Amino acid sequence: MGQLLVRALDHEIIARLKARARRHGRSLQGEVKIILVEAAALSLREARAVSAHWQKRFHGHAMSDSAALIREDRAR
């Protein structure tokens, strides 16, 4: 996993983040990590666009039945 160092944060911001972490029963690092993960997640609009792209790309292509492939592999 990568690391991130944020310098020169206002003391008030750090105090608010610490208070938020306490309310959620987490460490400051844990709270900031969750905030960053949520902020970096795809929005509903972005997720729909990605989904539409892949649906369009595979439209008309026959897909194999994965359950049948698993059964076939187990039968070996």
Interval 47-54 mean pLDDT: 94
Using an 8 Å Cβ cutoff, are 31 and 24 in contact?
Answer: yes
pLDDT of residue 14: 97
CA 1 to chain centre: 14
Percent of the chain at pLDDT > 90 equals: 79
What is the Cα–Cα distance from 27 to 18, expressed in whole angstroms?
8
pTM value? Answer: 0.60
